[in-house]
A and B are shown apart, each in its own frame.
Chain A
């Protein structure tokens, strides 16, 4: 039994779930800046609801990537190089989004703010879609050869699954962010976000549900049906709570949906980490893609110490900034002028 590789498969699954849970609403909020906001005050309310935390949330992605590199270098190398084109878009999207969040409020013309809104919204959309492409193809497989290199050219990975995965994560982010905004804001944004969540949750969660079911049927493990069922129940309950206006519970329901849904996917594909669509002989698994026992042991010690610590201080951040952001709590904009005597 490959204990350490299995442990690291679980840790990486946890990191991805953490990423989707936390950055899921950040990316969704980015899209809602274009989709649902009606004026600049709305946008600032939305942006400030994630303001103190979005950068820390993004580190979950970096950690998931780094942990994959450390624990499963063959998985990391094959996945990233085969998905070269979509991942470059993910990077560009994340770059634009990050800079837009920080720079949007530092200029004072309409052109400036609108430009960065566009960068923020589209950047969030593109990176959410690309992350979805990557995650779904990790479960359905990529055209990799015996060395783990992609075949079929720059778009050899492109298929219906990729599109489904992109839509799945985008849809999830939009719903998740609406539920989050209903919980974290007050006033107009809160009301409209709640309405959005109630109205669109069933439709927008269809792609991710299809992905969960597809992976379940393709791999056909019996016990994972429990997880699938739990995910469905969580989604239904989240929706009902959203309708009743229990914002905190609706958010918890979304979290449970994500955890169970993602757990069912990861449990189903195990022990594969990256199936090959060329030949099952080229599948990357927890055994043949993993690092040495020594490396995994060292990393396990680091993770045992690091992950709980991160959870504690990130949790504390959410506690410090637990108040709802309202339109009235946003300070007015003061233009920056050069400190020069007028002549």
Chain B
């Protein structure tokens, strides 16, 4: 018995997946992007003994942890929700998709969480080298986990390494799945995207504190506009070393963001080239390219969301560029949506099967064109926000070349708002690539020699036994809980950022300790 008379759970199940996943992927890139930078700071401290790097490690480590835990908490939902709301999907892909998830837990999450625990509580307890190694291991765990989950996602974009047995994909080559070219491109793209998030964070916060120091009259500039560093004994942590903490943070952040943007561009280009072959419809709809041609659209008007190209008018087009992006040739045309639809219909059918499991969706017509307003603008916003962050980083490096930031408040606000640009770029990119795969949850592999017949429609993936009401309940619960937790996370981040180094090293404001005195081994260096 299925609850087919009720409202269709498909749409809200998709909204739920979108909301919890996009939310989760606000915490993840900050974790992946900030982690290696904190580890770098601690390594520099080990190498140079310079107090500035110690302070940076402590401060940014605090910010890292406040964010990290939210990624952990919301990550649980990620793993459970396939079985919860997408049981048909789980049954169909389980032979392939579960393996990278299990590997992620066993080979990456354990490393990440165990060694991070050692790092948090190991200050002053573990030998310094081992303590640092723990952080590097935790960071490596995050990165490796990203690889596994992206390999799983890339299999949904481009299934490889399987054969079809009784209509179900069965793994026959784990190497092909983990070495999927789609995964390699998406992984590197994601890591650079995450580094951009970490970089922009360092830049924005560094700028804020340098600005605050000038505003408080601690730092001034001489006639040559060079900074004259001062100190404020009445404010904990606002000493001379504090200035270097923020300037170095800003510079590391800006350089990271610039490198990240270069990396994102190169890997994104590689990814797009693959996608033109592997998911031509996604790229055509990213361009709102209704007709076959070589032009790259800079601005399109009309009803892009109409899903059928009827009302789309490309206002500004650059001839040749699309052909070049896809094929490396300005004259090689790229297939448009109007030409792709019939070939999709011929290969994958025009209607969903008449299967009782599909409820009211059984036998309905399949629309092969993704929501073009989302793919078109998602693609462009991703590039725009990414480029903005990189541009801002170059400008920031120039403006701070004499050792501090300019005085205007609006520039400070611009630098702080710049923190959000790479976040937005990351979200837009994922929304584009996931929405662009629709109506498939597992896109077919059209490359010659690819596995025929392995694909799944999103409409067939939702749990048949789960009702609209159940998903509505969880959607509302998760959304409310996530929104409330976001308020707490942001409040804490703001509080600790405003607190500066003294917030992370409370003893800074107190009388200096003799570094050679034996530490009180009974007192925890860190305690909840």
Q: Which residues of A contact B (CB under 8 A)?
A: 44, 47-48, 51-56, 58-59, 61-63, 65-74, 76-82, 84-85, 87-88, 91-92, 94-96, 98-99, 101-107, 144-145, 147-151, 153-154, 291-292, 294-295, 298-299, 302-303, 306-307, 310, 313-314, 317, 320-321, 323, 325-326, 328-331, 334, 336-342
The CA-CA distance from A107 to B496 in the complex, in Å, is: 10
Bound Cα distance A221, B481 (Å): 45
Question: A74 to B92, alpha carbons, bound, how many Å?
Answer: 9
Top 9 A-B residue pairs of the complex, sorted by shortest distance between their CB atoms: A73-B94, A80-B83, A70-B98, A149-B465, A69-B98, A339-B500, A66-B102, A81-B87, A334-B506
Q: Which residue of A lies closest to B2 (CB)?
A: A149
Set B170, B467, B500, B527: member contacting A154, Cβ < 8 A: B467
Q: Are A147 and B83 in contact (CB under 8 A)?
A: no
Give the nearest-CB partner of B96 in chain A.
Answer: A295
* A298 cross-chain contacts in B, Cβ below 8 A: 99, 171, 174
Q: Are A291 and B102 in contact (CB under 8 A)?
A: no
In this complex, how many residues of chain B approach chain A with their Cβ under 8 Å: the count is: 98
Which of the segments B64-72, B420-428, B430-438 contacts the partner chain? B64-72
Which of chain B's residues has its CB closest to A116's CB?
B488
**14 additional A-B residue pairs with CB within 8 Å, beyond A59-B109, A310-B114, A331-B527:** A52-B120, A69-B97, A70-B102, A72-B94, A73-B95, A80-B80, A81-B83, A84-B470, A92-B481, A103-B492, A292-B170, A310-B110, A326-B522, A339-B238
B69, B107, B165: the one within 8 Å of A99 (CB) = B69
Selected A-B contacts with CB under 8 Å, 25 pairs? A53-B117, A55-B114, A59-B109, A63-B102, A63-B105, A63-B109, A77-B94, A80-B83, A81-B83, A87-B80, A92-B477, A101-B528, A102-B528, A106-B492, A107-B492, A145-B465, A295-B95, A295-B171, A298-B171, A314-B110, A330-B523, A338-B498, A338-B499, A339-B501, A341-B234
Give the chain A neighbours of B209 by CB distance below 8 A: 339
Residue of A82, A149, A321 with most chain B CB atoms under a 10 A cut-off? A149
- A51 to B80 alpha-carbon distance, docked (Å): 25
| In contact, A62 and B105 (Cβ under 8 angstroms) | yes
Tell me the number of A-to-B contacts counted with CB atoms below 8 Å.
Answer: 297
Residues in A whose Cβ lies below 8 Å from that of B93: 73
Closest CB-CB distance, B443 to chain A, in whole Å?
20
A104 to chain B, nearest CB (A): 6
Give the distance in Å from the alpha carbon of A24 to the alpha carbon of B485 in the complex: 25
Contacts A106-B492, A153-B3, A325-B524 given: A88-B473 contact, CB under 8 Å?
yes
- Does B466 count as interface, using CB distance less than 8 angstroms? yes
- B280 contacts A by Cβ under 8 Å: no
Q: Which of B79, B117, B165, B466 contacts A84 (CB 8 A)?
A: B466
Bound-state Cα–Cα, A39 to B64, Å: 30
A70 to chain B: which residues have CB within 8 Å? 94, 98-99, 101-102
CB–CB B236/A339 < 8 A: yes
Nearest opposing residue in chain B for A80, CB measure: B83
A12 to chain B, nearest CB (A): 10
Whether A80 lies near B87 (C-beta < 8 A) is yes
Enumerate chain A residues within 8 angstroms of B466, measured Cβ to Cβ.
81, 84, 150
- Report yes or no: B527 in contact with A44, Cβ–Cβ below 8 A: yes
Separation of A285 and B276 alpha carbons in the complex (Å)? 43
Neighbouring A residues of B125 by C-beta, 8 Å: 320
Question: Are B126 and A320 in contact (CB-based, < 8 A)?
Answer: yes
How far does the Cβ of B58 sit from chain A's closest Cβ, in whole Å? 13
The 8 A CB mask of B458-500 against A (1 = contact, 0 = none) is 0000011111011101100110010001001000100110111
Closest to B115 in A: A313
How distant is the Cα of A59 from the Cα of B105 in the complex, in angstroms? Answer: 7
Given A76-B90, A103-B69, A81:B84 Cβ within 8 A: yes
The answer to whether A84 and B474 have CB atoms under 8 Å apart is yes
